[in-house]
Structure 1
Amino acid sequence: MKKAGGIIALIAGIFGIFAAGATLFIGGIGGAFQADGASTVVGLGWGGVGFSFIVIVLGAVAIASKSKVPGVLLIISSIAGAILGGTLVAVFMVLSLVGGILAVVGAKKVLPPAPPPATISID
């Protein structure tokens, strides 16, 4: 499940980049027509780009990681991206959140190495 969570997060991050690009496009058109709040939409677009890149990186790390840390960071960045990335990006950050949860649930507990077996010598 850990690899599936990382792959889902990668896909969500890639689609999040496209959604952030659409948000930037809409904000740019609004800025060209001097609409109120256009700069806010552009700011949300850049936030979406940033958090989508973070999700892509953490998704790739979660695939190969043996700990739960990338999954937890993926959940945190998904929530922050949903809040600071705009509505279009938030849709894909929900998918990334599911990937982060799968990465946390699928990570196995890392056990310390076992001590070497005891040898008995008979003299």
Structure 2
Amino acid sequence: MAFSTQDNDEVMSEINVTPLVDVMLVLLVVFIVTAPLLTNSIPINLPKTEAVAPVEQKDPLVVSIDGAGKWFLNKNEIQPELLRTNLESAKQQDPQLRVQLQADDGANYGQVAKAMAAIEKAGITKLAVITAR
């Protein structure tokens, strides 16, 4: 058996954390009870309305680049040089035109950058880059 050889005159250097834990638990209970009471401080009866139809949005143009480097505009294959002119004519028909850009994982980054530059030069400001999760 091991016996302790410490004298009783020495100061104990350990902190008793039991009172601290008790105080923290009491504070936790107080906050749990009072938090729901603070969220509904003003009772308001909101009026009932009928549902309205959502605003119709046109489908965006989809610019796609596959792994082989082929460019598509709404599933129609196009030449990269013609992308800007096609987007400019579409922008004239619809000033609020939205474009989605999707590129294959194996597509060359330079091709994607060229597509983004063509979209910007066409004056389109609403661009979404589509990725997979």
Give the TM-score band, short-chain normalised: under 0.3
Q: Which has the larger radius of gyration?
A: 2
Q: TM-score, normalised by structure 2?
A: 0.23
Asked which structure has the greater RCO (Cα within 8 Å, sep 6+), the reply is: 1
Kindly indicate which of the two structures has a greater share of residues assigned to strand: 2
Kindly indicate which of the two structures has a greater share of residues assigned to helix: 1
Q: TM-score, normalised by structure 1?
A: 0.24
